[in-house]
């Protein structure tokens, strides 16, 4: 998860491009609003990757802290069960509910063919990159280095030894 104010940024980046990129490429965007803040407008975000916005807003009820939860999703995402009433007391049960909501929402998004294919492609690409790096590491060791690893102190070329 990325927390926008905690994402490092370059002092010269006055438009916060790195932050915007990380946030815009998230499948789920969690927005913490100020108490009595302006209502959330998903049209403000132009990215096409973010599929669900979960809006969390603190509210005080009889001097106890509660959170109001609202969920906005793209029309091609399966409906996500909106919390009944959407208001939760800040306690362990809310924490458990919120984490479960995020995981279930992620699973719902990943059921879309577009994302499933994208993940398979990314994993395949990463696997190939790691294999290339690993082969370069192995290749970088000279035969002499390998013979030393096996206790060949006579500097006998490895192809002539019984290793």
The pLDDT-based confidence of 162 (bands split at 50, 70, 90) is: very low
Based on the fold, state whether residues 139 and 64 are members of the same structural domain. Answer: no
Based on the fold, state whether residues 19 and 72 are members of the same structural domain. Answer: yes
Quick one: tokens of 64?
A: 């106890």
- For residue 112, the 8-state DSSP code is S
Residue entry with tokens 């306690």: 91
Around Cβ 14, how many Cβ atoms within 10 Å? 8
Q: If you average pLDDT over residues 82-92, what whole number do you get? A: 82
Based on the fold, state whether residues 153 and 79 are members of the same structural domain. Answer: no
* Residue with the larger pLDDT of the pair 64 and 32: 64
* Residue with the larger pLDDT of the pair 19 and 57: 57
% the chain with pLDDT above 70: 73
Q: Are 31 and 50 in contact (CB under 8 A)?
A: no
- Buried b / exposed e along 31-60 (16+ C-beta atoms within 10 A): beeeeeeeebeeeebeeeebbbbbbebeee
Q: Quick: pLDDT tens for 110-120.
A: 888 888 888 88
Residue 62, beta-bridge partner list: none
Based on the fold, state whether residues 38 and 106 are members of the same structural domain. Answer: yes
What pLDDT, on a 0 to 100 scale, did the predictor assign at position 53?
Answer: 85
Q: How many structural domains are present in the chain?
A: 2
Task: Examine the fold and report which residue of 111, 127, 144 is the final residue of a domain before the chain moves on.
Answer: 111
Based on the fold, state whether residues 89 and 40 are members of the same structural domain. Answer: yes
Q: Quick: pLDDT tens for 123-151.
A: 888 898 989 888 888 877 655 565 555 55
Based on the fold, state whether residues 128 and 88 are members of the same structural domain. Answer: no
- For the ranges 1-5, 101-105, 132-136, which has the lowest average pLDDT? 1-5
Cα angle value 77/1/30 (rounded, 5°) = 50
Based on the fold, state whether residues 131 and 149 are members of the same structural domain. Answer: yes
Task: Examine the fold and report which residue of 93, 111, 129 is the final residue of a domain before the chain moves on.
Answer: 111
Based on the fold, state whether residues 27 and 70 are members of the same structural domain. Answer: yes
CATH number, residue 56: 3.40.50.11210
Domain that holds residue 129: 116-160
Q: Cβ contacts of residue 150 below 8 Å, gap of 6+? A: 158, 161, 163
Based on the fold, state whether residues 33 and 73 are members of the same structural domain. Answer: yes
By three-state DSSP, how is residue 38 classified? coil
Q: If you average pLDDT over residues 70-84, what whole number do you get? A: 79
Based on the fold, state whether residues 127 and 80 are members of the same structural domain. Answer: no
The rounded distance, in Å, linking the Cα atoms of 146 and 137 is 12
Residue entry with tokens 């803040």: 37
Based on the fold, state whether residues 37 and 99 are members of the same structural domain. Answer: yes
Where does 12-76 show beta strands of DSSP type E? 28-32, 52-61, 64-73
Residue entry with tokens 């398979």: 120
Based on the fold, state whether residues 120 and 106 are members of the same structural domain. Answer: no
What pLDDT, on a 0 to 100 scale, did the predictor assign at position 137?
Answer: 82
């Amino acid at each position: 998860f990325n927390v926008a104010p905690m994402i490092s940024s370059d002092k010269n980046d006055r438009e916060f491009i790195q932050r915007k990129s990380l946030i815009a490429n998230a499948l789920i965007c969690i927005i913490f609003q100020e108490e009595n803040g302006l209502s959330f407008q998903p049209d403000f975000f132009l990215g096409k990757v973010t599929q669900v916005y979960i809006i969390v807003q603190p509210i005080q009820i009889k001097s106890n802290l509660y959170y109001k939860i609202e969920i906005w999703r793209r029309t091609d995402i399966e409906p996500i069960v909106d919390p009944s009433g959407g208001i939760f007391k800040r306690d362990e049960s809310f924490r458990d509910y919120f984490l479960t909501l995020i995981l279930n929402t992620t699973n719902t998004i990943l059921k879309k063919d577009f994302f499933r294919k994208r993940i398979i492609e990314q994993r395949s690409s990463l696997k190939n990159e790691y294999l290339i790096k690993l082969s370069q590491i192995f290749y970088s060791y000279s035969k002499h280095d390998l013979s030393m690893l096996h206790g060949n102190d006579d500097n006998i070329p490895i192809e002539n030894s019984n290793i």
